[in-house]
Chains A and B, each alone.
Chain A
Amino acid sequence: MRFVDEFRDQAKAQALSAEIAALCERGREYKLMEICGGHTHTIYKHGLEDYLPETVTLVHGPGCPVCVIPTGRVDDAIRIAQQDGVIMTSFGDLMRVPGSTGSFLDANARGTDIRMVYSPLDSLKIARDNPDKRVVFMAIGFETTTPSTAMTVLRASREALQNFAVFCNHVSVIPAIKAILELPDLRLDGLIGPGHVSTVIGCRPYEFVATDHGKPFVVAGFEPLDVLQAIYMLLMQLHEGRAQVENQYTRVVPWGGNAAALDVIDEVMELRPTFEWRGLGFIPHSALALRERYAAFDAERIFDLPGVRVADAKVCQCGEVLKGAIKPWECKVFGTACTPETPIGTCMVSTEGACAAYYNYGRLSRRRVRVGET
């Protein structure tokens, strides 16, 4: 299949693997973070670590939209869904995220009508087909999905739909990267940058990583060869003593981003003063809310929400996983009390969550490439 097979080519992977091993200095450990959960998924789904020297450690970052949703926001969403005449729509991987009284699936078993959609625009069709109900779209995600939520609000506004609203939980990736880089204990050598977010925001916003923190940063695509090449590019920068923002995903990501998409976001949404992230706590200017002029579509203004901060389960170490402080399997409940079936934390729910990716695909003792072997 075109655009897929050529990015999964074994011969190319082997060649790249040899070059990566050759770039690694003997006795030096490399710690690279992939920001985006999509990359974590790719790494485990294709068994990419089989191609890496054991001295290269991939640390999983906070870029999984479902993972960073705090419990309180899930509870708020369920509260909205429980109101009379509400149909809530949501992306599929949110359905099993645990709130303090269970997930959307559990809520449905108790009578709510929360439906899975593939696009926020599908919610408008449901709203048109159910004029006696109010349809609320549970909007989550980084800049990748924000433009489509904003477009949906614009379209609803143009159609003057009276029975559609958005529960906006969109977050921004840059403040999260800043928060990660300011953590005292995390010694990263380089970062693999999010690919699809960058199609919207471009590569310039990452320049502080290189200039202020002196770390190489490579925006990467989501096929396994993309990620392997990005690792090679990071190691090359380290080898040459450079720290720059580079773009591996040039077939999709324009350096300057997508101005039209950014305009749509800016038209509909504004930065919140602060927003809670699971694991990372409150981060200022890290999330978006609907602007006043779209208040008619804003579930937070329409419904009376508890909006309380709910502490995560004590045993759950999602926060440490999201910060890259521990590997998924180092969490005390990983794979025992917390599994994809009985998730305690969000990282075990989403396919992009590091715990779910490791549990579903990665539970193996691997033979790793030795530095100097090739």
Chain B
Amino acid sequence: MTDERRVLQRIDEFRRRKPRITDDQRITSSHGAGGRAAHGLVEELFLKAFRNPLLEPLEDAATLDLDGSRLAFTTDSFVVSPLFFRGGDIGDLAVNGTVNDLAVTGARPLYLSAGFILEEGFPIKDLRRIVASMAAAAERAGVQVVTGDTKVVQRGKADGCFVNTAGIGLFEREVQLSATRARPGDAVVVSGPIGDHGIAIMLARDELGIETDLSSDTAPLTEPIALLLDAAPGTRCIRDATRGGVATICNEIAQASNVAVVLDELRVPVRPEVRGASEILGIDPLYVACEGRFVAVVDSVQADAALKALRTHALTESATLVGHITADPPGLVLLNTEFGGTRVVDMLVGDPLPRIC
């Protein structure tokens, strides 16, 4: 074995160790970025304190068995800045985000809660606009907001308006979707062009002086996911590609299933505006957040059926096969680059685009 190989093996062992969280550390923006630091915080602090079999899988939603009914339960908080952007606002983001965390488990989202943390001085006009778009998003997604809470903090103690939503969904079909179920040979599907939301938010901040028609992709994914599961019951796992983007989801799958995810850069759908802005910003669209896109790992035999079904729905009409699962090297995501080379696509470190949701 060459020295380089031995080093790679040693690195792999270290990578599988959980990051240490100690009391002399403080929270940095990385802990909220959905990458390695965030995972470390969840596993070493929250999971240690709350450990139970329902939390342990750390999927997008917990699955609860109650008197013969299977429920999905999840929560998500929204601190996006700015509050309003092309294609949406914090309101529909808060509804769609929780709806999607339920939908990707295979459940039908039903009920949401809505909690508001408001800063003194926040205009009622803006709050009304946010709430109206939450109502519209809830109607579109077929869910009801059935409980809520309001808190007001002093001026300067919050940035206008933060929203938390929690949601309950009902499993109406026998599915066991999990990031641990990817197997060598499986197909990897992305439901549409990636990175629209993150770049739209970035451009809405107007720090870059770039103008495009790009809109956030925020949308409820319940319907296309139902179509996918009808057409491809052999679907192993679905994840919505929010913070950390497609790259982070693929890393989670690779690690949870101990397989390699191999992506083909030329197949990954990216809009020219997103690609252009990413090139200028020096970021990789694979890491840019989406709010209405998912990654699915599907039994390769059913991949064509899955794509055909997804392409019948407006939200997933450009669903694409972007790669496949292999046995080696376990726990890693590889990219066959547009240039014809190969490289690793690792978990994100740090936060290139803070507060995008």
Contacts and interface: CB of A to CB of B under 8 A. Distances in A.
B49 interface: no
A340 B8 CA distance: 15
Interface in B322-346: 329, 332, 334, 337-346
Interface of B: 2-5, 7-8, 10-11, 14-15, 19, 26-30, 36-37, 207-208, 272, 275-276, 279, 281-282, 329, 332, 334, 337-346, 349-350, 352
Contacts of B37: 341
A361 B344 contact: yes
Contacts of B14: 335-336, 339
Interface stretch (A48-56, A182-190, A300-308): A48-56
A362 B344 contact: yes
A364 B5 CA distance: 8
Contacts of A361: 343-346
Contact of B341 (A51, A105, A106): A51
Given A95-B350, A360-B346, A364-B334, A46 B10 contact: no
Interface stretch (A6-14, A69-77, A78-86): A6-14
Report, nearest first, the 4 A-B pairs whose CB atoms are least far apart. A47-B341, A335-B11, A109-B26, A10-B340
Contacts of B15: 335, 339
Nearest to B270: A1
Contact of A364 (B276, B279, B340, B342): B342
Given A118-B207, A341-B37, A363 B11 contact: yes
B276 A1 contact: yes
Nearest to B20: A342
Interface residues of A, number: 47
Given A95-B350, A336-B14, A360-B346, 12 more contacts: A4-B275, A47-B340, A50-B341, A96-B350, A105-B30, A106-B26, A335-B10, A359-B346, A361-B343, A362-B343, A363-B11, A364-B343
B342 A341 contact: no
Contacts of B344: 360-364
Interface of A: 1, 4-5, 8-10, 13-14, 44-51, 92, 95-96, 105-106, 108-110, 118, 122, 224-225, 327, 329-330, 334-336, 339-342, 351, 359-366
B171 to A, nearest CB: 37
Contacts of B281: 118
B340 A106 contact: no
Given A110-B26, A341-B19, A365-B5, A1 B275 contact: yes
Given A334-B7, A351-B282, A47 B26 contact: no
A43 to B, nearest CB: 9
Contacts of B282: 351
A363 B339 CA distance: 18
Contacts of A106: 26, 28
Contacts of A360: 344, 346
